[in-house]
Amino acid sequence: MSTLNYINSFAPAKINLGLRILEKRKDGYHELRTLMAPISIGDKIEIELLPKGIEFETTGDFDVPKDSSNLALKAALLFLSHYKLKIGLRIKLTKIIPPGAGLGGGSSDAAAVLTSLKTLLSIEDSMDNLFRLAAQLGSDVPFFLFRKPALCTGRGEILNSVALPLPYPTQGLLIYPGFPVSTPWAYKTYAEFRQKGLISSSLTHEIDQPLNDLEEPVFSKYLWLPTVKNWLQNQFDPALCLMSGSGSSIFALFDKEDPLFMKKVIQHAQAHLGSDCWIRSFTILERF
């Protein structure tokens, strides 16, 4: 057992630099090909060992569930039961990543809890087993244990290293419109659209094109999102502009590595898109 009794960690958001859906699988999930990258915006997770009992507290910019439906607490309970540990914990989550934004906040929190507990409790087990626990918590959770950009396949849990630097610039603007989009709803609507022959992009373009196949179903219901995307493209001519994951956030990447330019872009976007929009600049992390 280590002598540590407290650990704090950074749980970054991710963006999907393209998300292509290959097919619907027999288990209900969709077979994916998505390039994911961690970014410089993230939550904070603090864990303290206690003699007994589990205390869970959340604070920060956004409200998230305070019960065991919270992925951070769920990850801790799964870890303790998997390793048959009778220890108590105090977990404090500081929420900075907007929830339901396609930024993987819940998944990142879960991965941060798994790695923190492995360190804090000096568990010598292999990382493969931690990856297996991560995949039980959600398709995106293993990516956050990988801690660097990856081409994710399968249902998202199979991680393939990508050549760095990425074929895209690393400085970007992130816009969360102030409302969430449900991931299960987005995939369900995509499947319905595809069944009715309403999907235009899927499989008709090269699979490695930087497109997000979930944009079509999500944009058909949330009309503000294509408006924001078109506005960003017309105003700033970014190198890449996409919805992240199942939405609701939209990001743009810029060739210019100039803080003054980003400041102007943020001011301009804030003035035009209104105060409901949460607008931040970020950089892609090549490792965290």
Mark the segment that binds ligand SUD (CB under 6 A) among 30-38, 193-201, 222-230, 271-279: 30-38
Write down the least CB distance from residue 232 to ligand ADP, Å.
Answer: 20
Mark the segment that binds ligand ADP (CB under 6 A) among 47-55, 67-75, 129-137, 159-167: 67-75
Q: Is 34 in the site for ligand SUD (CB under 6 A)?
A: yes
Cα distances from 227 to residues 149, 206, 270, in angstroms, run 28, 25, 15
d(CA 93, CA 71): 11
Mark the segment that binds ligand SUD (CB under 6 A) among 24-32, 57-65, 88-96, 271-279: 24-32
Residue 29 contacts which entry, ligand SUD, ligand ADP, none (Cβ below 5-8 A, type-dependent): ligand SUD
Q: Is 76 in the site for ligand ADP (CB under 6 A)?
A: no
Residue 133: exposed, middle, or buried by beta-carbon count in 10 A (0-12, 13-18, 19+)?
buried
How far the first Cα of the chain sits from its last, in Å, is 26
Q: How many residues bind ligand ADP (CB under 6 A)?
A: 20
Q: Is 186 in the site for ligand ADP (CB under 6 A)?
A: no
Q: Which amino acids are annotated as binding site for ATP, given as ranges? A: 98-108
Reduced to 3 states (helix: H, G, I; strand: E, B; else coil), residue 88 is: strand
d(CA 186, CA 248): 10
Of residues 43, 109, 140, 213, which has the active-site annotation? Answer: 140
d(CA 235, CA 85): 55
